[in-house]
């Protein structure tokens, strides 16, 4: 087996209006320290901005952080936009304050994984690494 | 006997000795560094009698859904013995946009109450006598607009604004540093804050126009030292801006208040409150020599640390919150919010918020800790920690001075990077099990027992959008446009915008329209990306 020629490219973003960026920045740093190329969008991104940046930057995955309660609307919108632009191969995962009952519906909509409060950082890093095996 | 760890440190990373003695307080003089309660440098508290005179205000932060939903929650809390109101706004309101703006989609009423117009504000306080409660409003970017709505509601009820008591958070510097909810660049934002300070000094004397906040700095990942240093430095920055605008210190500083987090490290947190009071008194005295002693007194609200709560085994959060609340009380806070056990899952349910409020009532009524003022004063350990926190904060003051002040430091990403580094250090300590989070990094359980949580449905957004549409149809468009243009004129020529904001909200201009009009004058801000 050969080692992948290029590092994984991951877009890490904050969609929606909330500014809680502690978790998202720690994750961006952890993925970067694990050797991935991390594109951090900054705050207050619209789903349109996220989808178009992801496509332009040709990323393998998009990690979204939402702590405002708007996850049902925003995750779905990003997935829709990726589908419209034939970019469903980009894996979407996320984290934030997401109640138990919203998890199955978001996963059914196409969110690959959801990391909620208290998840160890290496679990997230391992998940992203696993996308290429 | 060997100790459990090679090194014991506070949550901020300060080394802690096995035991403290008189030798740790060599330069400490009780008459200079401690004083009496209610006297300079206020280490022991701002009032001589503290809780023997009056207990702290129990003020639970609340807001969700529509104005009517939140109005019902306010009445529930007042019925259960709460004595101050505290409004949580939803994200669109906090960002100065209306519920029918496309950027608001999915966010309306989710993490607070949706307020887009004067009519919403009126319904939020329906049947609540504004002159008999004090109201705290947690809003920053559009704070002046929301305040104008509150004043206009009072006016509509023929109530003199002189009698209104409460607090506007209105602390924009910590938004750039930590919470990230800004509308305009720092300089015009500071000017808006100065306008509210000047307006309150003249017209609304019982109101706190700014609540200088460390809470969000801490929640963004800072340690106690950074929280203390950045918050007090922000406070000094507001004072200097108002003094430059021509106000005298004693005309407005007594109206400023502070807002701190209270986290897990029990003694460090108590020391933080004590150090904050002493540092503020000393800095104000050194810089301005105020005549009114109230200009030296740091009064504060405190909230237990939301970021310390865990989604796992949520009942444990009741215990965490109790310890934190006790630290705030032993630290001498004037007002307190205790978090509910379900807040890492959703906004608090009625049951959860009641337990949180009861926690404060228990401390106040059953523990007897309120009998004596500053009961830990004179403890070698607490005094040494208080000294250490003050010294560490002054160290940050020097660094911020060297960078040219807080605005310049923010533009260079300095406080943001310091916080991110501290947050990463803590995360690593937890992952290496150097710090244990009960129920998460140790003592885990596989079984999870779900607790009931509050849901906010999509109908809230639909109804709020419909109300806005009716409002726009019902108003006199010429009157509205005229009022907004007059506001823009005042904003660009440097006149105090408060009277113009009041006229604009009365002419039924919406929050989003007013903020958009101000952005035309003030511009917008893009933060330096710090990673």
Q: What confidence tens digit (pLDDT) does each residue in A13-72 have?
A: 999 898 889 999 999 999 999 999 999 998 999 999 999 999 999 999 999 999 888 899
pLDDT above 90: percentage of residues in chain A: 77
Q: Does A68 touch chain B (CB under 8 A)?
A: yes
With H, G, I as helix, E, B as strand and everything else as coil, classify residue B361. helix
Alpha carbons B524 and B183: distance in angstroms, whole number: 6
Cβ A102 vs Cβ A53: under 8 Å: no
What is the H or E stretch that residue B417 is in? helix B414-431
The DSSP secondary-structure symbol of B291 reads S
Q: Determine the pLDDT at residue B101.
A: 96
Q: Which two tokens stand for residue B244?
A: 């430059």
Nearest chain B residue to A21, by CA: B220
How do residues B352-368 score in pLDDT, each as one tens digit?
999 999 999 999 999 99
Answer whether residue A91 shows pLDDT above 70.
yes
Q: What is the structure's pLDDT at A8?
A: 95
Query: Which residues of B touch chain A, with CB atoms under 8 Å apart?
Result: 91-92, 94-95, 97, 103-107, 110-111, 175, 179-181, 219-221, 307, 310-312, 344-347, 420, 423-424, 427, 431, 437, 440-441, 450, 453, 456, 527, 529-531
- Picking from A57, A48, B185, A120, the residue whose alpha carbon sits closest to that of residue A40 is A57
For B240, other C-beta atoms within 10 Å of its C-beta total 15
Average pLDDT, integer, range B479-497: 98
Mean pLDDT across B114-140: 96
DSSP B30: I
Chain B residues with CB-CB distance to A118 below 8 A: 310-312, 437, 440
Contact residues for B118 (Cβ-Cβ < 8 A; gap 6+): B149, B152, B153, B505, B506, B508
Mutation site for A-interface testing, chosen from B94, B98, B107 by largest number of A Cβ within 10 Å: B107
pLDDT at A3 over 80: no
The DSSP H or E segment spanning B213 is strand B211-213
Within 10 angstroms of residue B495's Cβ, the number of other Cβ atoms is 14
In contact, A74 and B106? CB cutoff 8 Å? yes
Q: Which of A22, A40, A42 is nearest residue B221 as measured by Cβ atoms?
A: A22
pLDDT value for B275: 98
Residue A117 forms contact with B (CB below 8 Å)? yes
pLDDT at A5: 65
In the prediction, which pLDDT does B491 show? 98
- pLDDT at position A68 is 84
B166-190 pLDDT, tens per residue?
999 999 999 999 999 999 999 999 9
Q: Give strand pairing partners of B184.
A: none
Whether the ω angle into residue B41 lies within 30 degrees of 0, i.e. cis, is yes
Q: Domains in chain B, ordered, with CATH?
A: 22-34+56-431 (3.20.20.240)
pLDDT mean over B438-451: 85
Contacts A122 to B, Cβ<8 Å: 431
pLDDT confidence of residue B528: 87
Contact B333, B273 (CB under 8 A): yes
In tens, the pLDDT along B277-291 reads 999 999 999 999 999
- pLDDT single digits (tens) B20-40: 999 999 999 999 999 999 999
Which pair of tokens denotes residue B91? 């994200």
- Minimal Cβ distance to B423: which of A19, A22, A73: A22
Q: How far apart are CA B213 and CA B228, in angstroms?
A: 10
A9-130 to CATH, choices 3.50.50.60, 3.40.50.280, 3.40.640.10, 3.30.230.10: 3.40.50.280
pLDDT at A4: 53
Cβ neighbors of B473 (< 8 A, separation 6 or more) are: none
A17 and B104 in contact by Cβ < 8 A?
A: yes
Residue B447 pLDDT: 73
CA B205 to CA A72: how far, in whole Å? Answer: 44
Span B207-236, mean pLDDT? 98
Q: Please give the share of chain A, as a percent, with pLDDT higher than 70.
A: 96
User: Looking at the complex, does the CB of residue A7 fall below 8 Å from at least one CB of chain B?
Assistant: no
Rounded to an integer, the average pLDDT of B478-499 is 98
Residue B282 DSSP SS3: helix
Is the model's pLDDT at B83 over the cut of 80?
no
B400-420 average pLDDT score: 97
SS3 string, A47-111, reads HHHHHHHHHHCCCCEEEEEECCCCHHHHHHHHHHHHHHCCCCCCEEEEEECCCCCHHHHHHHHCC
pLDDT at B61: 87
- What is the spatial distance between Cα A110 and Cα A93, in angstroms, rounded to a whole number? 9
A16 touches chain B (CB under 8 A): yes
Query: In this complex, which of B110, B450, B529 lies closest to A70 when CB atoms are compared?
Result: B110
- Percentage of chain B exceeding pLDDT 90: 91
CA B195 – CA B191 distance, rounded (Å):
6
Give the dihedral of Cα atoms B355, B357, B359, B365; nearest 10 deg: -130
B49 to chain A nearest CA, in Å?
Answer: 39
Percent of chain B with pLDDT over 70: 100
Asked if pLDDT for residue A130 goes beyond 70, the answer is: yes
* CA proximity to B130, closest of B97, B98, B154, B158: B154
* Chain B CA closest to residue A28: B531
Indicate if the pLDDT at residue B151 is higher than 70: yes
Question: What mean pLDDT value characterizes chain B?
Answer: 96
Q: Where are the domains of chain A?
A: 9-130
Banded model confidence at residue A2, pLDDT cuts 50, 70, 90 = low
Count other Cβ atoms within 10 Å, centred on residue B506. 18
Can you tell me the distance from the alpha carbon of B404 to that of B186, in angstroms, rounded to the nearest whole number?
Answer: 14
B258 contact partners, CB below 8 Å, separation of at least 6: B211, B212, B213, B214, B231, B235, B276, B280, B298, B299, B300, B301
């Amino acid at each position: 087996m050969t080692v992948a020629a290029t590092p994984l490219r991951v877009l890490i973003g904050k969609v929606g209006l909330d500014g809680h960026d502690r978790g998202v920045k720690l994750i961006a740093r952890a993925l970067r320290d694990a050797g991935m190329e991390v594109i951090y969008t900054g705050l207050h991104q619209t789903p349109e901005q996220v989808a178009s940046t992801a496509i332009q930057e040709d990323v393998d995955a998009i990690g979204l952080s939402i702590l405002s309660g708007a996850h049902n609307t925003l995750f779905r919108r990003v997935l829709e936009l990726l589908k419209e632009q034939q970019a469903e191969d980009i894996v979407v995962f996320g984290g934030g304050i997401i109640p138990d009952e919203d998890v199955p519906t978001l996963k059914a909509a196409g969110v690959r994984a959801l990391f909620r409060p208290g998840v160890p950082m290496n679990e997230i890093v391992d998940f992203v690494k696993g996308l290429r095996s | 006997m060997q100790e459990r760890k090679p090194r014991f440190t506070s949550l901020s990373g300060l080394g802690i000795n096995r035991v403290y003695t008189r030798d740790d307080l060599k330069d400490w003089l009780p008459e200079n560094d401690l004083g009496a309660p209610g006297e300079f440098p206020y280490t022991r508290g701002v009032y001589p009698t503290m809780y023997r005179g009056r207990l702290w205000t129990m003020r639970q932060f609340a807001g969700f859904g529509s104005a009517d939903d939140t109005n019902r929650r306010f009445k529930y809390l007042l019925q259960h013995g709460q004595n101050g109101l505290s409004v949580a706004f939803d994200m669109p309101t906090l960002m100065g946009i209306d519920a029918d703006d496309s950027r608001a989609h999915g966010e309306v009423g989710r993490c607070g109450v949706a307020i887009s117009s004067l009519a919403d504000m009126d319904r939020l306080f329906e049947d609540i006598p504004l002159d008999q409660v004090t109201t705290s409003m947690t809003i920053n970017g559009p704070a002046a607009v929301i305040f104008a709505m509150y004043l206009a509601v009072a006016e509509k009820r023929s109530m003199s604004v002189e009698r209104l008591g409460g607090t506007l958070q209105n602390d924009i510097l910590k938004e750039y540093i930590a919470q990230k909810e800004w509308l305009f660049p720092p300089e015009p934002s500071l000017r808006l804050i100065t306008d509210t300070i000047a307006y309150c000094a003249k017209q609304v004397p019982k109101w706190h126009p700014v609540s200088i906040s460390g809470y969000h700095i801490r929640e963004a990942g800072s340690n106690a030292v950074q929280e203390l240093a950045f918050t007090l430095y922000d406070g000094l920055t507001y004072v200097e801006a108002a003094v430059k605008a021509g106000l005298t210190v004693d005309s407005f500083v007594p109206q400023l208040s502070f807002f701190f987090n209270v986290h897990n490290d029990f003694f460090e947190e108590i020391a933080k409150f004590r150090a904050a009071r002493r540092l503020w008194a000393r800095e104000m005295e050194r810089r301005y020599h105020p005549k009114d002693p109230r200009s030296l007194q740091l009064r504060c609200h405190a909230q237990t640390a939301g970021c310390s709560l865990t989604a796992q085994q949520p009942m444990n959060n009741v215990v965490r919150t109790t310890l934190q609340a006790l630290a705030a009380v032993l630290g001498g806070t004037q007002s307190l919010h205790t978090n509910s056990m379900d807040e890492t899952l959703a906004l608090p349910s009625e049951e959860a918020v009641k337990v949180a409020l009861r926690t404060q009532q228990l401390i106040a009524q059953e523990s007897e800790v309120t009998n004596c003022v500053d009961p830990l004063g004179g403890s070698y350990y607490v005094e040494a920690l208080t000294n250490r926190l003050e010294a560490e904060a002054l160290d940050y003051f020097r660094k911020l001075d060297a960078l040219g002040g807080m605005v310049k430091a923010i533009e260079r990403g300095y406080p943001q990077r310091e916080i991110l580094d501290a947050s990463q250090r803590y995360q690593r300590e937890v992952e290496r099990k150097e710090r244990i989070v009960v129920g998460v990094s140790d003592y885990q359980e596989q079984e999870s027992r779900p607790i009931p949580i509050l849901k906010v449905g999509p109908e809230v957004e639909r109804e709020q959008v419909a109300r806005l549409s009716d409002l726009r149809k019902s108003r006199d468009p010429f009157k509205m446009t005229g009022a907004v243009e007059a506001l823009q004129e005042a904003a660009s020529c440097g006149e105090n915008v408060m009277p113009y904001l009041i006229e604009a909200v009365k002419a039924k201009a919406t929050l989003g329209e007013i903020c958009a009009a101000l952005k035309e004058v003030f511009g917008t801000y893009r933060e330096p990306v710090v990673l």
